[in-house]
Amino acid sequence: MADKKNFKIFGCNDLFSFEKKQKFLKKVLTFLFSIKVEGLENLKKAGDKALIIPNHTSYLDGLLVALFVNKKITFSVTDRLADKWWIKFFTSLMDSRFLDPDNPLSIKTMVNELNNNKTCMIFTLSNMFGGNSQMKIYEPAALMAQKSGAKVVPVQILGLERSAYSRFRRKFFFKLFPKVKIIFKEPISFDDDKSLTFKEARIKSTSKLHDVLADLKFEAKDCNKTLLSATIDTMKLVGGRKEMLEDASRKPMNFREIFLKSFIIGRYLKRRAPKQEKIGVVLPTSAACTLSLLGLHAYGKIPAMLNFTTSPMQVLSTCETANLKYVVTAHKVVEVAHLESLIDEIKAKGIEIIYLEDMKTDLTIFDKIVGVLAMLFPKTMYKITAPYVKPDDPAVVLFTSGSEGKPKGVMLSHKNILANIYQLTTKFDIIENDVMLNCLPMFHSFGFTAGTFTPLVLGFKLAAYTSPLHYKAIPGFCSSMQATIFFATDTFLANYAKFANPYDFNSIRILAAGAEKVKPETKRIWLEKFGVRILEGYGATECAPIIAVNNYLYNKPGSVGRLMTGMQYKLKEIPGIKEGKELILKGPNVMCGYLDSKNSSGLIQPEDGWYDTGDIVEVDEDGYVFLKGRSKRFAKIAGEMVSLLAVEIIIQREFPGFINAIVAIPDDKKGEQLVLITNCPDITKEKLLNIFDGREITKLAIPKEILFMEEPPVLSTGKFDYILAKNLVIKKFGL
């Protein structure tokens, strides 16, 4: 414990009593910051023995909270902070003492303070300065509350995050005296359950506090804005000259250059398609695609992201679903990706193709002036170019993968996507020095939200790479960009590991995988070869897309993590399925609805906001989600429901490193039969019988046929293409 240090201000420290100083400061700061306080009655509910934990966004937080508590508070800060001048100034005006929350003896002292009916407040060094150890606050604080029996009072402070007193390291545009709101939340009890061991009780209380503070952090985020306005606000924080975007062409762009070019592109596209609200986009993951998306948003257009790697029939189907009249692409993309026939078929449907290269000859001097004005005054220009766009308006049309049927058009609002981005910040410590490596296609929901807009909205660099299929090139690109955050799928990660040098992924500190089950073999290779742990997650396009994810603080093997902050769930029983129930979700990131031209509103909206995922899951007592399969991926064999995913997992464990997929086809005797599609030449029916022998799974689950394919069908997103595979099997067996 460190003693309080004297810090007299103009010799005034001894002239006034604690009460007079507090009353004077409260009046001055209330006037300057127009402070409004809500929920003080919640502090009274907690009683004298209370532990206050604010969402720490500025260096004034402790002072402001203390002024309205109207009692002496024991502050818990580290010794390093105790030496800072603003802390000395703060403590000269308040009656306080220092405790190091990272020191076990200090925690004991704090518990004693609480047991003596003292009100305490805690914020640690890691919470104050951000970084990888930000979440270290939870365990000491939970332990203090549990051992003392004190109630925790979460406090939400709004308004100071973008002030001159913010913790953000680089503040280029800020308010000196912003309006401040302080909200004291309902007190939370941490009962000391005697039936639990010390370790179990500590884990349980820490998890509870983590969820409370995660909710607090998420609630403090402003989702009531558009993606472009959120990006503009971020530029004001990090500065227009911060390098934000670079692709495989290796021409980095800062924020000002991004706004200059995106507004010029947006103005050109609006001129070409003045009345069309939705515009199709056929562009790979690149700076050009990112600028086009921002440009469309700048002029109130809605990009419809087309999966140009799929069949022409599916692309035309998605164009029809979105009622597209214009599609944006580039001559170079068409040439390199060999899309000539696809473009011809799109044209044949009466859809006009807009090539970005043609813009160079069509630009006017006024277009360039608008671009310069947008570079200097992006917020003002955005209000002029798209004054009618609201946060609840659609931001993008994304199409489901189509791995199990016809792709659906999913309409996501600006608020949906922003909510998912901010939900991600409650799972991971993301800082401005991070670099996002995004090679997932932008027509994929992970590539759009997590890979592209997360760095733009949160203010860290985006390194975009054209295609996830360049297995030899991407590891080197990652190394040269010193990427720290990487989202991918199991298929892609397994292939990168084959060709990468052990040093290529040395800089990665957050690696999350979704879209398909991560194989144990993939996790093992990445940990052994690169020293990087894969954090498995789960998402759906309809949820913008992240639903759950493991992180370094909460990670349970076999699970896909816990639900994102702010999401609710229900479980529905499915007849015939014994293990698991169907997951139904509600939350701020759940879609506006599916596109449907037959509906009067043009959308099929989730009933009362609840989205039926179609996934069969189990949720344990700690909130971890375990995927058991898709409701569509169950076969009814001789009256018994069999999970195709469960069969795939069993086979994959015995034959790692290969693609092993199960499809169900009609059977005259038993209703359905299973067929294994694999690129492993060693699998035989005899081996399958031996693998399933003695396992707690019905013998009906053993595949009756094996179809060997050197290159099994895989979608551009990395998912196995079950529709094409099933058609191939039916054709093979003449059904």
Annotated active-site positions, please? 56
What CA–CA distance (Å, rounded) separates 607 from 732? 41
For the sheet with 603-604, list strands across it. Answer: 352-355, 326-329, 278-281, 302-305, 394-399, 409-413, 593-595, 603-604
How far CA 312 is from CA of 20, 713, 725, in Å, comes to 76, 16, 18
* d(C-alpha 591, C-alpha 32), whole Å: 41
Q: Which helix (H) or strand (E) holds 722?
A: helix 722-732
Instruction: Say how far apart CA 348 and CA 344 lie, in whole Å.
Output: 6
What is the C-alpha separation between 328 and 304, in angstroms, rounded?
10
- CA 375 to CA 614: how far, in whole Å? 45
Question: What ranges make up the beta strands (E) of 66-164?
Answer: 73-76, 119-122, 151-158
Tell me the Ramachandran region of residue 614: left when phi exceeds 0, alpha when psi lies from -120 to 50, beta otherwise.
Answer: left
Q: Element (H or E) spanning 395, and its range? A: strand 394-399
Residue whose pair of structure tokens reads 């001048």 in the numeric block:
85
**Would you put residue 602 in left (φ > 0), alpha (ψ -120 to 50) or beta?**
left
The region, left, alpha or beta by phi > 0 then psi within -120 to 50, assigned to residue 39 is left
| Helix and strand counts by DSSP (H, E) for the chain | 27, 32
User: Contact at 8 Å (CB) between 442 and 452?
Assistant: yes
Residue 175 DSSP symbol: B
Q: State the DSSP code for 272.
A: H
Residues 6+ apart with CB under 8 A from 245: 252, 253, 258, 287, 290, 461, 462, 464
Sequence-separated (6 or more) residues with CB below 8 Å from residue 598: none
